[in-house]
Each structure stands twice: as C-alpha cells, then as structure tokens.
C-alpha cells in the first residue's frame, strides 16, 4: 500500500517531493508517482495545499458495536501515598472531552491503603465516578497486575476513551492494556480533542518533535492515549459532585509473574527532572566537571533540578540520570535554562515544550537560540555568577 | 540460551533539521542508522553471551535496505539475523508491528529472552516491546539499566523509574526493554565485519510467518494518522543585548514578569 494521489487535484508543484523522508515521490508527466519506498508515514499529506494526497484507511474491520462503549476514563496514578499530578491534569482534560460528548467522566484508582482524601480530590478535579480498586497485591506497581485489573474493568464497563499519564508507569503498562483489549494506543499526546462523531483526535510529536501528527483509532474501543505530564492544565472544581465506587476484581487479575525485590527511591533530588518546575542544564560549554558547581548553585537557588546535555554526560562530568534529550529524559518545566548548550536536535527534542526557555551561550549562531524565549549571548562564566548575585540581591540575602 | 534482539532502522535525528524559512523538515543528507536504544539491547545480549554463552538472533521489520541494520548488529558479534520484509507490512502501527515481530519470535521457537531498546527515536512510542510481550504471553520489564542472571530460569533486572530504581525478579522466557545506562555498545570487530558482509540473511514475509495479510501493515493497524503538520512556532523570541549587567537585569525582569517559579 502507498499514499494515494488524486490526479484531478495534483498540480505537479513538486512540494511533496522534497518533504518525503524516503524519496518515494517522483514527478511524472501528468501526475506525481508514489514508489514502493513509501512507508505511509503521512508527511506529504499535510504539505499538499491542493489536498491531492491522502493515506489509505486502516483496516482491522469495524469493532462489533462501537456504540456499546460510553464514557471517558482516566487512570489515576497512585504514588507513595498521593495521586500523581498528571492524573489531575488528565481529569481536567477528560472533563472537557466528556462534556463535549455528553458522557460521564470516571477515574480509576489502583493501589493499596488508598486514602479517602485522594478519592475525594479526584472528584474535585472533575470525576463523576471514582472506581477504587484496593488490594495488597496492588501496593506496588507491576505491569501485569495493573494491566489485568484495568482490562477487567474496561471489559465490564466499556468506556469509549481511556487516558493515562505518559509516566514511567503509564508508558510501561498501558501498552499491555491496549494489546490485551485489541485496541489502538497513541503514546505521549500533547493535545486531545474529540470530533462530532466521537473520534478522539490524538495529537503527538513525531520525528523527534519536528512534526506533529494527529492520530485516530476509528474501528476499535476504547480509544486509548497516554498524555505527557505538565501539558494539560489541572483545574479544580470544588463544588463538583461525584460518587466513589469500591470495585472488587477476580483473584486471577492480582497474580503477578514478576517479583519486586527492591525499590530504591532516588536520593539525589536534583535528578528528578521530569517532576521539576524549573531546570538548569549545563553542556560542553562548561569546559570541565568542576564548573557544574555553577549550574548546581543556580538550580538550588531557584529550587530547580540539574539537567545536562548529552555532551556533558558523555564527557563524564555528570551522571546519565541528568541527561535531557532524546536518549535522556523528556522534560517540560515552567522554566528551562540551557547553559553552555549548543542545542543539537537530540537535546531540543527533550526540552522544547518547556514554557519559558532561557539560553546562555557565547555563540550567537547556536541552534539553542532558535527555541529560546530569552537568548543571552554571553560568556556563561561571567553571566551566571552575575545572575546568581542578582537573585540573591533581590531577595535581600 | 537463545536471545532475540529486535531492532529498527531509523533516520539519523542528528542530521534532521527544520528549514527556518519554510519550517519544514529538511531531509537532505539524513542517513539511516540503527535506533540507538536498540544498540544498547544488542550490547545487553552480547554481555550475557560473554558471561554465560548464548545464541543471539537479531530481527528487524522494514524495507529491503533494513538489511544494513542487521549487518551492523552482526558486525558487533550477533550470531544470526532475520529480515522481516514484505510490501504488506507497510504502514504498520505499533500493534501491527508487534503482531509481526511476535510471530517471528514464535517462529524462532526456542527463545528464552527478547531484548528491545526502550523506544525508537523516530516514533518514540515505547509500545512495541510491551505489546509484543503481551502477544507472546510472557512477562516483561521496561526501562532496564542492568540485567543479571539470578539462576538458570530467572533474571534480576534493575529498572529506572521516575522515582528512582526498582529491582525485579523476572522468570524466563521474558522480554526486557533497555535504556542508555545499560552501557555503550561495543565497536564492530574486523572478524565479525567480514562475517557480516558475507552473511546470507533470510527474509521472512507474511506467508513465512503464517500471518493473514489483513492482520499486518496498514490493513492490520488500529490507529491511523489523519494529519501531519509543523509544530507551532514558539512565541516571540527575545535576544538580550548589552553589558553583562544589563543582560542580567533584563533577564531577571522578564522572568519576574513571566512569574517563573523560583525567581
């Protein structure tokens, strides 16, 4: 199968030829031709301003009865006695989808010794129903138990949409849920909407964030997506009413084939990159490992985490757990400061969705300035100490 | 022990850039590489082979030229390679990809351990490993930075999570997806390079895997891309000029105004 060309619409302008990453488009005499190199990536489709290109539709047949599925669900992530912030964000996003669709919104909370405050809070963030599954076997996360319990509930209650945070937990077990239910899953969404006929429009970055793709799951239910933390805005509605429903599941769902031997929380708080609201990252421009002290001092001052470019990690100046980018962590804090980082694409991919980006670099041509909200062309060894001094002065330290 | 490593050929992200004027992807000079995370998976398999002895088969699904990715794995010391290639595989989403790879692992027959990179750098979904394990009905562990053998039938794996680390005991057969901390992949050796060059790599298509053409590729996919577009440009960009003091004052002022946390 290949991309489809509408010969009546094609003007032979050739724009798509340059866009195709696989060189699969050739300009013929009367129309363009798609070669066997086509991987159906879809890059050409949106480029064509004449609407001449399209992709063939997915198959896998229509599901038995799409109308049997109703409601929006959010998997609420229980961690160390609290619900992860991303679950509140998703409930707020889910509320919008549910209202547009005119269906109820539910949260599903799995764990053990789940507090009443947490379930009430899920209602305050918009849930009409909170399903609570509380078993000692769920005290700690394991892919098989968490997935099998969720699959059991979905089979019974049939929601049309199921959302979860794209955290280390969500990204790990949600694919098992989707595969068990034989339905589609879109990872790492940054935008969600719903069409008039109830299709979840799931938008996510692709090709390392260079393009955005909107994806649908036309024939299977539930429509499933993981959503990046810190992208959706949590909004509390204290007056919102909802019910809390304890749910029991068959014992078979609670049996895990893996055994958790040990859980070692990260001692180094500075490495908790994905959670941080502010991050100061250092790169090769720091020149030697000792100079990371500058980064650490600034990070501590603004209560932020310490990040690093791949270059700095490869030099051995800092542990890999601090690495931001394609082979490291993807972050989107309110403030990201890139210090002495040139901005290779693999780094930009991991931080370009941050709200405010500050870049400090000597080279005005450095690609990091392309994504920076505020670019400071300066010697970091002069600028950073002066900036630290300024913050301290303003605070009256 | 028989280890299957699943790899993917991807465009080299280092060379992908955005044209500042048209804001489209510039693909000139973009080469294909083996997904970096998959090379960590190859290295993980080789480490087990070094310590305990193992046979390693590397698999990839892709167009005929994905053969190069397999030869690269062979040149690093992997024993065998199989290319899963068929026009019918085009347009696969993660489900259809997992279906195809899982069938190939099943066809290999005696696999004790399946290794994958945590995700591919073109799609970044991290879904194929877990979906494949589900289809094969074997347990799995994701984002693993260390693999040790506990006994003949059990692995001890160290997972990196958002919160820290977890150590899990995993029975075999099972599937593990690995991250960078597992260790830099070794370089190809001359001996293995020679072997890789000459190796005859079998190609398995839909019929070899006993799959229905409607179960693979776009036909077998559940998700569909309906729109691809350039990400919105970031808002106004401000370059701060002047002396260091002026730059410091202005940045502080802007960040304060933007109500950035910590400032």
Local confidence band at B131 (pLDDT 50, 70, 90 cut-offs)? very high
Closest approach of chain B CAs to the CA of A242, in angstroms? 30
Q: Which tens digits make up the pLDDT trace of A70-98? A: 999 999 999 878 899 999 999 999 999 99
Give the Cα separation of A396 and A116 in Å (integer): 42
Candidate from A111-125, A154-168, A194-208, A256-270 with smallest mean pLDDT:
A256-270
Would you give the DSSP letter of residue B142?
Answer: E
Tell me if A265 sits within 8 A of A323, measured CB to CB: no
Local confidence band at A267 (pLDDT 50, 70, 90 cut-offs)? low
Q: Do A179 and B87 touch (CB under 8 A)?
A: no
Q: CA of B215: which chain A residue's CA is closest?
A: A60
Angle, vertex CA A333, rays to CA A397 and CA B242, nearest 5: 60
Q: Which tens digits make up the pLDDT trace of B20-29? A: 555 555 555 6
Tell whether B132 is covered by a domain: yes
pLDDT of residue B17: 58
Token readout for B141 is 């562990």
CATH class for domain A269-395? alpha beta
Q: CA of B238: which chain A residue's CA is closest?
A: A374
Closest approach of chain A CAs to the CA of B180, in angstroms? 7
Instruction: Show residues of chain A in contact with B123, CB under 8 Å.
Output: 206
Give the Cα separation of A291 and A300 in Å (integer): 15
Tell whether B120 is covered by a domain: yes
Q: Which domain range does residue B191 map to?
A: 2-220
Tell whether B44 is covered by a domain: yes
Which residues does A154 contact at the CB level (< 8 Å), separation at least 6? A73, A162, A177, A181, A222
Angle, vertex CA A206, rays to CA A329 and CA A220, nearest 5: 110
Give the Cα separation of A225 and B203 in Å (integer): 34
Best residue in A168, A322, A350 to probe B by mutation, most B CBs within 10 Å? Answer: A168
Q: pTM of the prediction?
A: 0.86
Give the Cα separation of B175 and B171 in Å (integer): 10
Q: Do B87 and A36 touch (CB under 8 A)?
A: yes
Domain ranges across chain A:
4-54, 66-254, 269-395
Local confidence band at A185 (pLDDT 50, 70, 90 cut-offs)? very high
Q: Do A58 and B93 touch (CB under 8 A)?
A: yes
Tell whether B228 is covered by a domain: no
Same domain (yes/no): B73, B153? yes
Mean pLDDT for B167-191 is: 95
Token readout for B225 is 């891309």
Local confidence band at B2 (pLDDT 50, 70, 90 cut-offs)? very high
Q: Do B122 and A40 touch (CB under 8 A)?
A: no
Q: What is the DSSP string of A40-107?
A: ---HHHHH-TT--EEPPPP-S---S-GGG---EEEEEPEETTEE-HHHHHHHHHHHHHHHHHT--EEE
Neighbours of A255 (CB within 10 A): 12
Best residue in A151, A266, A327 to probe B by mutation, most B CBs within 10 Å? Answer: A327
Same domain (yes/no): B154, B243? no
Largest CA distance in chain B: 70
Q: CA of A260: which chain B residue's CA is closest?
A: B168
Number of domains in chain B: 2
- Residue count (chain B): 263
Candidate from A4-18, A121-135, B110-124 with smallest mean pLDDT:
A4-18
Q: Do A320 and B180 touch (CB under 8 A)?
A: yes
Tell me if B172 sits within 8 A of B113, measured CB to CB: yes
Output B161 or B82, whichever has higher pLDDT: B82
Give the Cα separation of B209 and B223 in Å (integer): 23
Measured over the CA atoms of residue A163, residue A168, residue A171 and residue A175, the dihedral's sign is: negative
Tell me if A94 sits within 8 A of B259, measured CB to CB: no
Q: Which residues pair with A263 in a beta bridge?
A: B166
Instruction: Return the number of CB contacts < 8 Å for A and B.
Output: 321
Which residues does B158 contact at the CB level (< 8 Å), separation at least 6? B144, B145, B146, B165, B166, B167
Local confidence band at B235 (pLDDT 50, 70, 90 cut-offs)? low
Candidate from A234-248, A278-292, A326-340, B162-176 with smallest mean pLDDT:
A326-340
Tell whether B122 is covered by a domain: yes
Tell whether B227 is covered by a domain: no
- Helices then strands, counting H and E runs in chain B, come out as 6, 15
Neighbours of A115 (CB within 10 A): 13
Best residue in B39, B61, B124 to probe A by mutation, most A CBs within 10 Å? Answer: B124
Helical pair A143-157 and A170-181, crossing angle rounded to 10 deg: 50
Local confidence band at A388 (pLDDT 50, 70, 90 cut-offs)? very high
Output B260 or A198, whichever has higher pLDDT: A198
Q: Do A215 and B223 touch (CB under 8 A)?
A: yes
pLDDT of residue A205: 84
Q: Is B200 exposed, middle or buried (0-12, 13-18, 19+ CB in 10 A)?
A: exposed
Instruction: Show residues of chain B in contact with A40, CB under 8 Å.
Output: 90-91, 218
Query: The CATH number of the domain where B172 resides is what?
Result: 3.40.50.620
Q: CA of A389: which chain B residue's CA is closest?
A: B248
Same domain (yes/no): B191, B241? no
Mean pLDDT for A317-344 is: 89
pLDDT of residue A270: 46
Give the Cα separation of A226 and A171 in Å (integer): 7
Instruction: Show residues of chain A in contact with B101, CB under 8 Å.
Output: none
pLDDT of residue B81: 98
Local confidence band at A170 (pLDDT 50, 70, 90 cut-offs)? very high
- The C-alpha torsion from B154 through B158 and B159 to B162, rounded to 10°, is 150
Q: Do A387 and B167 touch (CB under 8 A)?
A: no
Tell me if B117 sits within 8 A of A160, measured CB to CB: no
Output B258 or B61, whichever has higher pLDDT: B61
Same domain (yes/no): B247, B151? no
Tell whether B183 is covered by a domain: yes
**Alpha carbons within 13 A on the beta-carbon side of A3:** 33
Same domain (yes/no): B80, B190? yes
Report helix, strand or coil for A109: strand
Output A271 or B89, whichever has higher pLDDT: B89
Nearest to A212 by CA among A229, A192, A194, A197: A192
Tell me if B219 sits within 8 A of B98, measured CB to CB: no
Query: Would the CATH topology of A4-54 be identical to that of A269-395?
Result: no
Answer yes or no: is pLDDT of A102 > 80: yes
Q: CA of A358: which chain B residue's CA is closest?
A: B251
- Please name the fold of domain A66-254: Rossmann fold (3.40.50)
Same domain (yes/no): B95, B62? yes
Tell whether B225 is covered by a domain: no
Nearest to A337 by CA among A354, A312, A317, A362: A354
- In A220-270, DSSP assigns E strands to 223-227, 243-246, 259-265
Measured over the CA atoms of residue A82, residue A86, residue A88 and residue A90, the dihedral's sign is: negative
Answer yes or no: is pLDDT of A60 > 70: no
Nearest to A94 by CA among A107, A83, A85, A84: A107
Neighbours of A303 (CB within 10 A): 12
Mean pLDDT (chain B, rounded): 91
Answer yes or no: is pLDDT of A269 > 60: no
Q: Which tens digits make up the pLDDT trace of A356-379? A: 999 999 999 998 998 899 999 999
Provide, rounded to the nearest whole percent, the portion of chain B with pLDDT above 70: 92
Give the Cα separation of A376 and A340 in Å (integer): 11
Mean pLDDT for B184-197 is: 95
Output A40 or B53, whichever has higher pLDDT: B53
Report helix, strand or coil for A343: coil
Same domain (yes/no): B91, B190? yes
Residue tagged 């490593």 (tokens): B5
Q: CA of A229: which chain B residue's CA is closest?
A: B162
Answer yes or no: is pLDDT of A271 > 80: no
Same domain (yes/no): B15, B77? yes
CATH of domain A4-54: 3.30.70.20
In angstroms, the first-to-last Cα distance of chain A is 67
Q: Which residues pair with A192 in a beta bridge?
A: A202
Q: Is B167 exposed, middle or buried (0-12, 13-18, 19+ CB in 10 A)?
A: middle
Closest approach of chain B CAs to the CA of A115, in angstroms? 21
Q: Do B228 and A45 touch (CB under 8 A)?
A: yes
Token readout for B15 is 């060379």
Same domain (yes/no): B199, B244? no
In angstroms, the first-to-last Cα distance of chain B is 56
């Amino acid at each position: 199968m290949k991309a489809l060309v509408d010969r009546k619409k094609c003007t032979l302008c050739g724009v798509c030829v340059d866009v195709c990453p696989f060189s699969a488009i050739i300009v013929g005499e009367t129309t363009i031709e798609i070669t066997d190199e086509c991987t159906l990536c879809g890059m050409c489709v949106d480029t064509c301003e004449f609407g001449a290109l399209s992709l063939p539709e997915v198959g896998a047949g229509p599901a038995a009865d799409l109308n049997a599925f109703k409601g929006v669900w959010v998997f609420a992530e229980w961690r160390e006695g609290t619900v992860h912030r991303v679950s509140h964000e998703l409930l707020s996003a889910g509320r919008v989808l549910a209202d547009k669709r005119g269906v109820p919104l539910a949260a599903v909370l799995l764990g053990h010794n789940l507090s009443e405050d947490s379930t009430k809070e899920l209602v305050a963030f918009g849930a009409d129903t909170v399903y609570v599954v509380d078993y000692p076997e769920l005290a700690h996360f394991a892919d098989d138990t968490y997935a099998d319990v969720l699959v059991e509930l979905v089979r019974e209650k049939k929601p049309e949409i199921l959302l979860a945070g794209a955290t280390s937990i969500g990204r790990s077990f949600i694919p098992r849920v989707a595969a068990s239910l034989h339905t589609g899953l879109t990872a790492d969404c940054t935008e969600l909407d719903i069409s008039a006929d109830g299709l979840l429009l799931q938008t996510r970055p692709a090709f390392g964030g260079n393009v955005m793709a909107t994806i649908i799951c036309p024939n299977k239910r539930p429509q499933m997506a993981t959503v990046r933390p810190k992208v959706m805005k949590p909004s509390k509605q204290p007056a919102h009413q909802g019910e809390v429903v304890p749910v029991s599941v068959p014992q078979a769902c609670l049996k895990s084939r893996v055994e958790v031997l040990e859980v070692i929380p990260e001692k180094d708080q500075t490495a908790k990159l994905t959670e941080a609201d502010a991050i100061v990252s250092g790169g090769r421009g720091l020149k030697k490992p000792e100079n990371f002290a500058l980064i650490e001092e600034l990070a501590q001052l603004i209560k932020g985490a310490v990040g690093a470019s791949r270059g700095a990690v490869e030099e051995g100046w800092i542990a890999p757990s601090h690495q931001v980018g394609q082979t490291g962590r993807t972050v989107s804090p309110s403030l990201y400061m890139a210090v002495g980082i040139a901005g290779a694409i693999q780094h930009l991919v991991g931080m370009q969705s941050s709200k405010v980006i500050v870049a400090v670099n000597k080279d005005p041509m450095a690609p990091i300035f392309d994504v920076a909200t505020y670019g400071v062309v300066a010697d970091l060894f002069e600028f950073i100490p002066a900036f630290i001094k300024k913050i301290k002065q303003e605070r009256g330290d | 022990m028989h280890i299957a490593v699943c790899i993917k050929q991807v465009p080299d992200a280092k060379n992908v850039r955005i044209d500042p004027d048209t804001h489209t992807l510039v693909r000139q000079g973009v080469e294909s590489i083996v997904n970096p995370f998959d090379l960590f998976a190859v290295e993980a398999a080789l480490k087990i082979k070094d310590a305990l002895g193992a046979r390693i088969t590397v698999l990839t699904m892709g167009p005929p030229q994905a053969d190069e990715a397999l030869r690269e794995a062979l040149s690093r010391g992997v024993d065998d390679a199989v290319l899963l290639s068929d026009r019918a595989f085009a347009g696969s989403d993660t489900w259809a990809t997992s279906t195809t790879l899982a069938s190939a692992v099943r066809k290999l027959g005696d696999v004790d351990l399946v290794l994958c990179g945590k995700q591919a750098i073109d799609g970044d979904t991290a879904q194929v490993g877990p979906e494949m394990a589900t289809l094969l009905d074997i347990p799995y562990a994701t984002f693993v930075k260390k693999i040790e053998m506990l006994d003949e039938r059990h692995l001890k794996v160290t997972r990196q999570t958002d919160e820290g680390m977890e150590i899990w005991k995993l029975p075999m057969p099972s599937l593990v997806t690995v991250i960078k901390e597992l260790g830099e992949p070794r370089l190809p050796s001359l001996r293995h390079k020679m072997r890789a060059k000459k190796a005859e790599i079998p190609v398995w298509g839909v019929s070899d895997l006993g799959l229905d053409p409607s179960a693979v590729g776009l036909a077998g996919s559940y998700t569909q891309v309906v729109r691809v577009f350039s990400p919105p440009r970031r808002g106004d960009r401000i370059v701060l000029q002047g002396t260091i003091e002026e730059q410091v004052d202005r940045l502080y002022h802007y960040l304060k105004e933007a109500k950035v946390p910590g400032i």
